């Protein structure tokens, strides 16, 4: 098979990575894609780095077996912990969501005060702070774990009183700071954009790592000559490690389109 025709592989701990796939499909609608959601073992955000690393390796091996030309680690937790190790493990381009999000935040901030929100594991890893400081060490970064945001979104409560109250409680930590930019450092948080923006005010810029990552993938494919020709209908494949029905129910909301061609697989021992 012509390498350009090979799919882009995307994995996440579950359905959240569909927010990243959605942006990839917007930016590169003609590319073939294969998505793996490790729904049997979600959430990753509360697990130890060793466990996240092991799961990420297994996901990578599975996608490599699907003959992918580029790997996207759509999960922020996984990107934070396993990006470097996975880059060593495979010989195709690998892209995580941290670096693109960090770059966009550095570009967006006017007063060099940036907030980052994510899962406990992502925040503990310090990856966003390191990536932002690497680009501009004068930027002050305040990082905050918002663990309740993931179950909230999974439940479909992305607006209304409960979502607002939880967002207000978490983000009160940011309220009296001068932060002008917040990185949504978790796959699920783009679905809470409206609520977060209501709490923080419209003058605070929200960075959606998914959009930035899709732009970065487009650039990599172009510069490495891996772009698929803009012809034929693209192949979309989905794999999950738990119930297909459950994935479809929420997944189509995340992706914003119908999901066909889905299969349940087993990973790990």
Active site residues: 75, 186
Place of tokens 């698929």: 228
Q: Minimum Å distance from CB 251 to ligand DGL? A: 13
The span from the CA of 147 to the CA of 170, in Å, is 10
Three-class SS state of 144: strand
| C-beta closer to ligand DGL: residue 141 or 184 | 184
Under 8 Å CB-to-CB from 52, ≥6 apart: which residues? 44, 77, 78, 81, 82, 121
| C-beta closer to ligand DGL: residue 128 or 226 | 128
The span from the CA of 122 to the CA of 244, in Å, is 27
Q: Minimum Å distance from CB 110 to ligand DGL? A: 27
Residues at the contact surface with ligand DGL, assessed by CB under 6 A = 12-14, 16, 42-45, 75-77, 119, 122, 150, 186-188
Quick one: which of 103, 160, 95 has its CA closest to 134? Answer: 103
Please identify the residue of the shown chain whose CB is closest to the bound ligand DGL.
Answer: 45
Q: Minimum Å distance from CB 189 to ligand DGL? A: 8
Q: Minimum Å distance from CB 16 to ligand DGL? A: 4
Quick one: which of 189, 236, 223 has its CA closest to 208? Answer: 189
Q: Which parts of 96-206 fold into alpha helices (H)? A: 98-108, 120-125, 127-135, 149-154, 161-175, 193-200
| C-beta closer to ligand DGL: residue 43 or 251 | 43
| C-beta closer to ligand DGL: residue 183 or 199 | 183
**What φ, ψ does residue 94 adopt, rounded to 5°?**
-125, 135
């Amino acid at each position: 098979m012509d390498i350009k025709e090979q799919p882009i592989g995307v994995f996440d701990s579950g359905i959240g990575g569909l927010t990243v796939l959605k942006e990839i499909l917007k930016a590169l609608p003609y590319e073939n894609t294969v998505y793996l959601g490790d729904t049997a073992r979600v959430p990753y955000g509360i697990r130890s780095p060793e466990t996240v690393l092991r799961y990420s390796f297994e996901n990578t091996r599975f996608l490599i077996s699907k003959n992918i030309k580029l790997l996207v680690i759509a999960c922020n937790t996984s990107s934070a912990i396993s990006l470097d190790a996975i880059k060593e493990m495979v010989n195709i381009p690998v892209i995580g969501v941290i670096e693109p999000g960090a770059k966009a935040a550095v570009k967006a901030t006017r007063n060099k005060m940036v907030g980052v929100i994510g899962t406990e594991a992502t925040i503990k890893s310090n990856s966003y702070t390191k990536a932002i400081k690497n680009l501009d060490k004068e930027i002050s970064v305040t990082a905050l774990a918002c663990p309740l945001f993931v179950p909230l979104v999974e439940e479909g409560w992305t607006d209304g009183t409960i979502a607002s109250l939880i967002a207000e409680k978490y983000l009160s930590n940011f309220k009296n700071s001068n932060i002008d930019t917040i990185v949504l450092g978790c796959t699920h948080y783009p679905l809470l954009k409206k609520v977060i923006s209501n709490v923080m005010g419209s003058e605070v810029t929200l960075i959606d790592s998914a959009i930035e990552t899709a732009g970065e993938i487009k650039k990599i494919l172009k510069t490495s000559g891996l772009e698929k020709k803009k012809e034929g209908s693209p192949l979309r494949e989905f794999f999950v490690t738990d119930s297909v029905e459950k994935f479809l129910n929420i997944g189509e909301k995340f992706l914003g389109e119908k999901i066909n061609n889905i299969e349940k697989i087993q990973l790990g021992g």
